[in-house]
């Protein structure tokens, strides 16, 4: 009888330990997405000087959509947020009707974004954005 009680107690302790360890691992993996919805004032340096644009972002969990507005007009954006990392893609039509794809990646720090934008045509360049007040 003692042996059965001991075995049951050991099995219960093992199951409890495994459940606790699983919950701890799940908590580490469930990193909350930074809040990036709203308007952002963005700037980057290009061959013709400083370029300013406005990002308008809506966020649903880790998914973002919105618009980038600048001297080239409006263009849609789509992307993701994982922890404090945000990435999104913007597709624009140029004067010849060709599609220009811009890929943005950034780190969110409070009300600031700091990152890089990449395109086949222009290569890589840095950009920053501040949440509009």
How high is the pLDDT of residue 95? 83
Instruction: Write down the domain spans for the chain.
Output: 1-30, 38-131
Backbone phi and psi for residue 33, each to the nearest 5 degrees, phi listed first: -70, 135
Could you tell me the fold of the domain covering 38-131? Lipocalin (2.40.128)
Q: Which of 15-19, 42-46, 107-111 has the lowest mean pLDDT?
A: 15-19
- For the entire predicted model, the pTM comes to 0.74
Whole-number Å distance between alpha carbons of 3 and 114? 63
- Expressed in percent and rounded to 5, the helix, strand and coil fractions of the chain are 20, 55, 20
> Does position 91 have pLDDT exceeding 90, yes or no?
yes
Q: For the segment 52-89, what is each residue's pLDDT rounded down to a tens digit? A: 999 999 999 999 999 999 988 999 999 999 999 999 99
Q: How confident is the model at residue 28 (pLDDT cuts 50, 70, 90)?
A: very low
CA–CA dist 96, 63 (Å, integer): 31
- Indicate left, alpha or beta for 38 from its phi (over 0: left) and psi (-120 to 50: alpha): left
> What mean pLDDT, rounded, does the chain reach?
86
Q: Are 47 and 64 in contact (CB under 8 A)?
A: no
Could you give the maximum distance between any two Cα atoms of the chain, in Å? 86
């Amino acid at each position: 009888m003692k042996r059965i009680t001991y075995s049951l107690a050991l099995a219960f302790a093992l199951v409890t330990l495994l459940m606790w360890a699983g919950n701890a691992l799940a908590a580490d993996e469930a990193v909350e997405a930074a809040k990036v919805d709203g308007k952002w004032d963005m700037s980057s340096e290009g061959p013709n000087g400083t370029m300013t644009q406005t990002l308008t972002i809506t966020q649903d969990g880790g998914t973002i959509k919105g618009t980038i507005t600048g001297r080239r007009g409006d263009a849609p954006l789509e992307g993701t947020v994982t922890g404090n990392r945000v990435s999104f893609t913007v597709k624009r039509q140029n004067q010849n009707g060709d599609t220009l794809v811009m890929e943005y990646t950034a780190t969110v720090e409070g009300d600031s974004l700091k990152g890089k934008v990449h395109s086949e045509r222009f290569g890589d360049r840095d950009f920053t954005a501040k949440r509009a007040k």
